Each structure stands twice: as C-alpha cells, then as structure tokens.
C-alpha cells in the first residue's frame, strides 16, 4: 500500500471532475495529404492545441517510454504503462535484449526445461515474424534458434505470424527470406538439427486476438499450429506469393497456412512431449493463445485433442493471472502507479474504453495489474467492440464511450476519470486514409461534447495520446503511394482545458518531456503533490 499524497501548497482541485482523454494513435506530424489528422476537420481539438499557453508536444517513443532506441516506435502497451506509472521502466524489447546479451535468458528455468523437454522431441517457436519491435523481433527468434541448436535440440519448428502492421504491409517475403538464411546458417554450424517453418498466417487473422474480442481468430491459429489444419503449401514463401496473387490483402490479413511434405503431411504439428515457446514479448495479444495451451478448463473454442507440452512465453504476460506459468525473461516490476496514490487519497474514479483498448486503461495503466485497485472507489466500463474490419465502421465505439462518460461526469460521483478512444490507432492500422479521416472527425465531435460538459461542471480536461499512427498514413515515391499501417515516431499532443475562471497554473518548461510526465500533472490538477520520484509535472504555479 502507498501513503496518501499531501495537499499541494498552490494547486487546488476543481469543483468539477478532472478528465483524461487518451486519443490512441493520435500523433503530431506536419500537415500533408498522408496525415489523416490534419486532413480531417477538427475544430474542437484545434481549439485545444492552438493555445501555446496550455498545450505542447510530448515524446511517446524510444527511451521516453522505456524502449531501446530512438528508432523504436511507441505502442499502446508501453504508452499506458508510462502514463499510469509516472516514470519510465525498461520495457519488453529492452528487457529481452539485456537478457540475451548477458545470457540470463538461457539460464532461466523455463529455457532449460524447454530444451530438456525437446531433447528427443520438437521445440516449437511461435510468434510475430518481423523486426517491428512492438510485439517481437526476429533477432530474438534467431538467438533462441541458435542457442537451441547449440544445446542439442534435434528438431525445431517455426509457426510464424505475418506482420504488415508494425512494418510495411506487404513485407513478409523479405522477412521469410531472412529467416530461411538464418536457418541455413544454423544448420551449417549444426548439421544434425532439423529446422523448418511449419505454419503461419496474418496476425489479424489468426492467433493474436486480445481481450477476448475474437476467439475464432485464436481457434484458426490453434488448428494450424497444433493440428496442422489449413491450406497446404510447400513453403511459407509459396503461401504468401500465392495469396498475394489472389487479392490485394496486406500481410496482417492473410489466411492461415500449413507447410506440408512431399506426401502432403504437415511438417510440424505440435504434439505431446514437445516444447513451445511464444517469442512475443508484448502481452496483450499473447494471453489467449497462452490460455489455450495451458488451461485445463477452457471455453474459448473447441481445441480438439490438446497435446501435453511444456509451454513458455518470452515474458509473463499477466502477472496477476500468472499467464503463462513459465516465461524466459522477468517482466518490468511497475509499482506505485498514479491510481494507487489517488485511491490512497480516497478519490473516486472511472476508466472506460471499448474492448480493443479496455485493457490499456485498466491493466497496462495499473502497471500490468489485473483487477481494480480499490473496488469501492473505482468503476471500470468495457464497451464491446464490433467484430468487423475497423475501416468499415471507423467511428468504432467513440460515440458510445462519450455518452457513458458524460453520464459519469454529470453523475457527480467521480473526482476524475480516464478514457481511451481507440479509433485513430485501430482504423489507422488498416491503412485506409479516408476511413481514418472519418474516425478523427467523429473523435473531434465527441471531444467537443466532453469539453462542453467539463465547462458546465467546472472541471478540467486533459487531452493527449499514447503514440502516433494516424498522422502518417502513406509514403509516396515516384508517384506511387504505399500505405503505412504501423505506428510512427511522432510526438503526441498534450493540452489542458481548465474551466475555472482563474487559472492558477502555467505550463512548466520540462526539457524532453514525455507522456510519463502526465501522471504528476494529473496529481497537481487534483490539488495534490506528486510522488517525489515521478517524472516532473508539466504545470507550475503562476
């Protein structure tokens, strides 16, 4: 338990509530045709961001959110960790890089057990196949493969989820060629090891669902990886090239496939006695497939015969639910989140989003902690996302979230609240510029409604984002546009709308400020001192 925060000497809480609006994937980039945000009509957000006295930009990528380098794009998981923790913790990719460099990953109980289990069986590696560094990195896969071969594992099979989201939308063949080259190099050093790609498919078609939004997606992956059921091909490159020729679908939406031998038999079913390692380091899209492998009682889908395997994740994806039981690298220990302090002060709050981002304003915001901090003080609301392609319904659940938030604000029971609008990120990931423009337009209208209610109640609204995405929707070379479906390296906006007649604060000049500075700012706007070790507040007394 944390101690309550002291009252601030200069700041006082407003009579109305403080509302934090997180526009997921709403980055700041130069005005251009490729920028869905600047191409949309956004009078309400423009009004918030046009006042330099109350708005600024914040970093949301690379070391500012705990990732290894300036070239690493931020993501929703680490972004909400930073927003809720008020400090920067080393995150997934950085943790794994360190564990590989100092070889602690290979002395972990999970690794040694996996190698021992596969000593006369098969070691399967399952995960997102790219160097996007948001969920996984192929360098990590190659390091694990090399070490397994050196340890005498006789048979390795790869189950590769095609990206096209954190990397260019049709880049799978290049990654497959690189992996084939890595396999050849390992086999050259260890001729007795048998390594092959066994199955695959697009990350938004199989295996990598989150928040139980689409269990059939996980089911398709399960049957491909475990039972060898799916469209058969002689190689992964043949599978991708064939499906490219059949439609203009990007990698993330390609169907599941299975690699078969000359007799038409799958080359790498997952069978009892084998070991399976999920090499993704990000947790949200790793939990459901982990449950499918581990849970004795399981209702997600009909698994068929479940093989008895040793299963491990790169990290533990849910530390409270212990998913999975075994993992290679210790996750960041995020403690003393801002919600813990505000609960200690007896402040009532709410957190709300639709399914696609619900875990971000709850689990990730709370430092990878499931459940509420204090059920007597908190209200969590999940609005079910529609199971459709996001560009087909670009408003997503922004209007429904707004309606519920307005009711919560006017109800008078909450001192503060936080919400996530998923549409800039989720629609942005489709690469559909016009749909993303529409998503931004709807979001802006709803932000305007929230500002009006904050004015009515005498509260404060904070507008920010967790990372960029919708701000760069395509690149253009020689007149040819290539959709960009990934996040961006862009900073994100930060603005405060204070409905009080007299503002007792001004923006402070914090050099290199990032989204981790928002938590201390939230404390101050609620009339409290921020914890001493939090990253500096973005406001100062007038």
| The pairing of beta strand 349-354 with beta strand 378-383 | parallel
Distance CA 526, CA 518 (A): 12
Termini Cα distance of the chain: 33
| The pairing of beta strand 460-464 with beta strand 416-421 | unpaired
Q: Which segments of 172-230 does DSSP mark as H helices, in order?
A: 172-189, 215-225
How many of the other CB atoms lie within 10 Å of CB of 69?
12
> Residue 461, class by beta-carbon neighbours within 10 Å (0-12 exposed, 13-18 middle, 19+ buried)?
buried
Query: Contact 431/250 with Cβ under 8 angstroms?
Result: yes
The continuous run of DSSP H or E covering 345 comes out as none
> Active site includes 247?
no
Show the tokens assigned to 318.
């849910």
Tell me the CA distances in angstroms from 402 to 117, 129, 158, 443, one per residue in order.
51, 37, 44, 9
* Residue of 34, 76, 349, 486 marked catalytic: 76
Q: At what angle do helices 92-101 and 138-150 cross, to 10 degrees?
A: 30
Query: Contact 57/30 with Cβ under 8 angstroms?
Result: no
- Looking up tokens 């998981």 gives 77
Show the tokens assigned to 485.
């479906």
Q: Looking at the annotation, which residues are catalytic?
A: 76
């Amino acid at each position: 338990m944390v101690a309550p925060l002291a009252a601030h000497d200069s700041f006082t809480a407003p009579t109305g509530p403080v509302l934090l609006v997180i526009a997921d994937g709403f980055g700041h980039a130069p005005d251009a045709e490729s920028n869905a945000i600047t191409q949309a009509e956004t009078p309400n957000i423009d009004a918030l961001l046009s006042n330099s006295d109350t708005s600024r930009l914040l970093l949301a990528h690379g070391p500012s959110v705990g990732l290894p380098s300036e070239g690493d794009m931020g993501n929703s998981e680490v972004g909400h960790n930073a927003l809720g923790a008020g400090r920067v913790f080393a995150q997934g990719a950085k943790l794994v890089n360190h564990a590989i460099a100092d070889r602690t990953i290979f002395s972990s109980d999970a690794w040694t057990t996996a190698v021992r289990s596969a000593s006369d069986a098969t070691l399967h590696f399952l995960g997102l196949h790219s160097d996007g560094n948001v969920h996984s990195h192929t360098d990590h896969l190659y390091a694990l493969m090399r070490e397994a071969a050196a340890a005498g594992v006789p048979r390795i099979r790869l189950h590769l989820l095609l990206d096209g989201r954190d990397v260019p939308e049709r880049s799978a063949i290049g990654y497959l060629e690189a992996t084939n080259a890595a396999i050849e190099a390992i086999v050259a050093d260890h001729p007795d090891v048998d390594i092959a790609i066994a199955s695959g498919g697009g990350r938004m078609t199989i295996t990598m669902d989150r928040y139980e939004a689409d269990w059939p997606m996980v089911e398709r992956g399960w049957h491909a990886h475990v039972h060898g059921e799916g469209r058969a091909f002689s190689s992964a490159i043949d599978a991708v090239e064939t499906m490219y020729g059949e439609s203009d679908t990007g990698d993330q939406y390609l169907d599941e496939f299975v690699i078969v031998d000359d007799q038409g038999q799958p080359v790498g079913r997952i069978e009892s006695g084998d070991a399976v390692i999920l090499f993704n380091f990000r947790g949200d899209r790793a939990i459901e497939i982990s449950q499918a492998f581990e849970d004795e009682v399981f209702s997600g889908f009909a698994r068929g015969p479940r093989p008895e395997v040793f299963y491990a994740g790169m990290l533990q994806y849910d530390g409270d639910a212990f998913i999975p039981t075994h993992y290679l690298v210790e996750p960041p220990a995020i403690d003393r989140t801002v919600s813990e302090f505000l609960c200690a002060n007896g402040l009532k709050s709410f957190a709300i989003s639709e399914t696609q981002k619900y875990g971000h304003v709850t689990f990730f915001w709370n430092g990878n902690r499931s459940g509420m901090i204090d059920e007597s003080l908190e209200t969590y609301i999940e609005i079910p996302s529609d199971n459709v392609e996001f560009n087909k319904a670009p408003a997503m659940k922004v209007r429904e979230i707004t309606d519920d938030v307005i009711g919560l604000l006017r109800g008078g029971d909450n001192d503060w609240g936080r919400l996530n609008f998923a549409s800039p990120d989720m629609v942005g990931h489709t690469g559909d510029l016009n749909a993303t423009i529409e998503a931004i337009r709807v979001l802006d209208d709803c932000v305007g409604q929230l500002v009006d209610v904050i004015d009515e109640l005498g509260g404060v609204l904070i507008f920010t984002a967790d990372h960029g995405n919708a701000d760069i929707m395509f690149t253009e070379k020689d007149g040819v546009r290539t959709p960009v479906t990934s996040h961006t390296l862009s900073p994100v906006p930060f603005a405060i709308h204070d409905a009080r007649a007299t503002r007792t604060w001004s923006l402070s000049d914090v050099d290199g400020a990032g989204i981790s500075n928002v938590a201390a700012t939230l404390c101050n706007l609620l009339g409290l001192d921020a914890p001493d070790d939090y990253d500096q507040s973005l406001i100062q007394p007038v």
